[in-house]
Structure 1
Amino acid sequence: MALEVGQAAPAFEGVDQNGEVVKLEDFKGKKLVLFFYPKDNTPGCTAEACNLRDNYTSLLEKGYEILGVSPDGEQSHQKFIEKHSLPFRLIADTDKKVHELFGTWGEKNMYGRKYMGTLRTTFIIDEEGKIAEIFKKVKTKDHTNQILGV
């Protein structure tokens, strides 16, 4: 069942790049940009993460916290964060539990080849833990403006 705007966001729990537990309830009272991306250090994912990094201060000023999720492991996330100076945490969702809660693990098709992977999606979760917005067509190089509605 697909998630919809207005629904309560699934109560997820994952582990970040440092092995620390991250939960939805950690963000109560804040707006959360929860972005799912396929793979660390690939062109589209790097463009998306760097766009959020470059606009991090303005997002924080507007009350947003940012959290990325991909199936990569903790070490891969650490390298991605170091290489691109990312100021936000990344969940290492190697068992895809968070992906499954949000419906972001599914069939993809590239050059006629079908495979399972991350469906690039961003969820904006409001201060009460409800889904305020869902972006399924993410503009990787201009994602902050999508989020802020510019």
Structure 2
Amino acid sequence: MTSPPDPAGSDPNSDLLSQLQASAALTGPTSQDDLLAQLNAEPEPDPLADVEYTGDLETDSTAELDALAKGFRERTKREDDRFRLATDSEYWFAVCFKSREDKEAFLRAARLFALGDKYLDGYAVAHTLDIPMPTKDDDGKE
């Protein structure tokens, strides 16, 4: 099973570009490194990649269904891990000011405003403030 071919003249990256633009619109400015990491992220593995076809329709169909079922189980596990990480509330904190102006003045003075004005990547903040981190982020930066 493969995806249908792209219509003539369509950009195969248009869906990814749309997702990145929507993400940037929702989360504010994103660093070039973050965008590059998203563009270079590994695609979901092809569950049919290891299927060995015999030429027998019944055998091949069974092998494909088994591979797809395994792919769905593995994807479900990855999604469960992502969900657990996304909903874990013990990895962030909030800083509050009396006004928006005070908050923005603080972010500018700390050279953090370019990272966002509400939700900031902690690793990017640490990097900007020259704070070494005990663990590395997904990009391998400390």
What's the TM-score once normalised by structure 2's chain length? Answer: 0.23
Higher strand share: 1
Which of the two has higher C-alpha Rg? Answer: 2
